[in-house]
Structure 1
Amino acid sequence: MKRWLNILIISLFILLNCFSIKAQKNNNSTSYLVPVCVYKGDTIPWIQLPQVYIFKPLKFKNDKEKRNYYRLVYNIKKTLPISKEINKAIIETYEYIETLPNEKAKQKHIKRVEKGLKEQYTARMKKLSFKQGKLLIKLIDRQSNQTSYEIVKAFMGPFKAGLYQAFAGLFGASLRKQYDPQGKDKLIERVVLLVESGQI
Structure 2
Amino acid sequence: MDKIYKTPKSSRITISELMLPSHSNFSGKIHGGYILSLMDQIAFACASKFSGTYCVTASVDTVDFLNPIEIGELVTLKASVNYVGNSSMVIGIRVTAENIQTRKIKHCNSSYFTMVAKDDAGKNVSVPRLTLTTAEEVRRFCDSLRRIRSKKEHKEQEELFDHTSLDMLQEIQNMDIKIHL
TM-score, shorter chain, exceeding 0.5: no
Q: Which has the higher contact order (CA 8 A, sep 6+)?
A: 2
The structure number with the bigger radius of gyration is: 1
Higher share of residues assigned helix: 1
